[in-house]
Amino acid sequence: MAGDKFASLIGSERPEATNIVIFGAGGDLTKRKLLPALAHMHRWNLLGPHSRIIGCVRQKWSKSHWVNYVHDQLLHYFPEAVLNPASWRRIAEKLDLVNGDLSDPALYRQLADALHADEGKKNALFYLAIPPSWYECVCKHLHDAGLADESEGFRRIVVEKPFGMDLASARDLNGKLQSYFDESQIYRIDHYLGKEAVQNLMVFRFANSVLEPLWNRNYIDHVQISVSESLGIGYRAGYYETSGAFRDMIQSHLMQVMTLVAMEPPVSLNADDVRDEKMKVLRSMRPIAAEDVEHIAVRAQYAAAQVNGEDVPSYRDEQNVAGDSCTETFAAVKFYVDNWRWQGVPFVLRTGKRLPDRVSEICIRFKEPPQKLFHLDEEHVRNNELVFRLQPDEGMQLSMTAKQPGLSTHLRGVKLDATYGMLGSGMPEAYETLLHDVMLGEAGLFSRADEVEESWKIVAPVLDVWAQQTDIATYAAGSLDIPGMDALLDECEGGWRDLSADSSS
């Protein structure tokens, strides 16, 4: 399998020495995700001795300030990395810093000098952990400074979502990035694709033969993909007010996951073979008419409530949120994929903030048996379900019906359980997997330009209709009592899954 994305899952492939340049090194993403992910990679010996982590900040930090900063962040987010002095020393040796304004060519000259200071490889990964409004400026300057040129080593840029706010802005951004970097050098991160359970979905589907005969409209009633978060928007009003739950989660993470559930087996695991199949799913999705939006999409916003004995403010009372904001903090939508495999099977996606628990899962709900030979105790027995739990307790579960031991025929639901705890330890974080893949040049878990544009095209009617609305339904913070949500499953068997954190046990 060498050369394909899944070779990296085996965990033995070591990337070449790379200069990992982080724009926005003093920001939140860097401290919460990137530094811990890099320290994890270091622990697994996946950052070669000649790899460097070059922070790029606006502030006039000295290198020792940067080293202390990294130390303090790791102490907080991944203490093992610094509590062992030898391990920390080896990480600290890799740290370098450049500072300056993102729009100043001098910054990029400094960077070019830093990359050339090393006699070894000149490979570079530029991580844009900065607001998207800076992407074009940074890419242009990198290009003008000769840093997009791959003659001395690979040059890759990593961009975070949001990738556009709609089709026009996504196209515009793609065009701009592609005028400075080749598409093969651009890695658009969707961290959901780096989650173990999401990758396992592919393995489960295509490395086992038992599922394929069932994986279609003849046996599957519908698919539910849910990401429930218990926290509110925190300090992110500036971004969230312009985004809302639908753009923030559904257009990106949940639709990406959906394509992996619905795609045909790819010809190979090469990035483009996989992404071609995902793209075909997107192109098969039933277009949404404006007049159907009210029947297939639901949105709502959290209202003030007491959660676990504490007062939680309404969304509109969060810091920097407009008092009359109609931004949705919950969104759900029902999609159809009009092809032979999936005709008529609803794919229902839902996500929200300030819901009861933090739970993410993909549920494949199978149809009822064609004949009811047994008297089913509805409370204990449900349709067969295959659930991929993304968090917490990552793993897979197949719910079946079995006879309860005894002289009478009482049926019970039982679960065939494969939590990752059973499969072995050492589960990587999504960012670790994705950074490792960028360094290996494996693009299979990253969104291609056409996928991003196609998904914006699909969701546009929903966003357009919602943009005209001047009111929004509410739900009490900490509840999943969302007006209109149940109606989305009217034609489906079994209703919504219980999303409480312990529903897997």
Closest chain position to ligand BG6 (CB): 248
Q: How far is the CB of 300 from ligand BG6 (least distance, A)?
A: 16
d(CA 215, CA 261): 9
361 counts as binding ligand BG6 under rule CB under 6 A: no
Q: What is the 3-state secondary structure (H, E, C) of 208-272?
A: CCCCHHHCCCCCEEEEEEEEECCCCCCCCHHHHHHHHHHHHHHHHHHHHHHHHHHCCCCCCCCHH
Question: For 43, which DSSP code?
Answer: H
Nearer to ligand BG6 by C-beta: 216 or 230? 230
Q: What is the DSSP string of 309-363?
A: TEEE--GGGSTT--TT----SEEEEEEEB-STTTTT-EEEEEEESS-SS-EEEEE
Closest to ligand BG6 by CB, 18 vs 327, is 327
Q: Is 196 one of the binding residues for ligand BG6 (CB under 6 A)?
A: no
Site membership for ligand BG6, residue 360 (CB under 6 A): yes
What secondary structure does DSSP assign to 179-191, as a single string?
HHS-GGGEEEE-G
Q: Which is nearer to ligand BG6, 263 or 355 (CB)?
A: 355
CB of 242 to ligand BG6, least distance (A): 12
**Using rule CB under 6 A, residue 229 touches ligand BG6:** yes
- Asked whether the bond before 392 is cis by omega within 30 degrees of 0, the reply is yes
The distance from CA 410 to its chain's CA centroid, rounded to whole angstroms, is 42
Residue 248 binds ligand BG6, judged by CB under 6 A? yes
Helix (H, G, I), strand (E, B) or coil at 268: coil
Closest to ligand BG6 by CB, 123 vs 259, is 259
**Coil/strand/helix, residue 195:** coil
Task: Output the smallest distance, CB 370 to ligand BG6, in A.
Answer: 38
Q: How far apart are CA 412 and CA 480, in angstroms?
A: 27
Nearer to ligand BG6, 351 or 397 (CB): 351
Radius of gyration for the chain, computed over Cα atoms and rounded to the nearest angstrom: 24
* Nearest distance, CB of residue 235 and ligand BG6, angstroms: 12
Supply the minimum distance, in Å, between the C-beta of residue 240 and ligand BG6: 7
Q: What angle do CA 85, 434, 279 make, to 5 degrees?
A: 175
Q: Kindly identify the residues of this chain, within the stretch 19-78, that bind ligand BG6 according to CB under 6 A.
A: none
Minimum distance of ligand BG6 from residue 23's CB (angstroms): 18
State yes or no: is 141 an active-site residue. Answer: no
CB neighbours of residue 317 within 10 Å: 11
Give least dist CB 19 to ligand BG6, A. 26
Count the residues of the shown chain that bind ligand BG6, applying the rule CB under 6 A: 5
Q: In the complex with ligand BG6, which residue's Cβ is closer, 141 or 191?
A: 191
Q: What angle do CA 133, 165, 249 make, to 5 degrees?
A: 110
Catalytic residue among 42, 191, 222, 253: 253
3-state secondary structure of 229: coil
Of 140 and 188, nearer to ligand BG6 (C-beta) is: 188
Residue 455 binds ligand BG6, judged by CB under 6 A: no
Q: Does 454 bind ligand BG6 (CB under 6 A)?
A: no
Q: Would you call 14 helix, strand, or coil by DSSP? A: coil
Q: Which is nearer to ligand BG6, 95 or 434 (CB)?
A: 434
432 counts as binding ligand BG6 under rule CB under 6 A = no
Maximum Cα–Cα distance across the chain: 82
Q: Does 226 participate in binding ligand BG6 (rule CB under 6 A)?
A: no
CB of 2 to ligand BG6, least distance (A): 29
Tokens at 319, concatenated: 């810091």
Residues in CB range of 87: below 8 A, 6 or more apart: 42, 43, 80, 81
User: Residue 153: how many CB atoms within 10 A of its CB?
Assistant: 16
Distance CA 440, CA 451 (A): 22
The residue ranges that bind ligand BG6 (CB under 6 A) are 191, 227, 229, 248, 360
Positions annotated as catalytic residues are 253
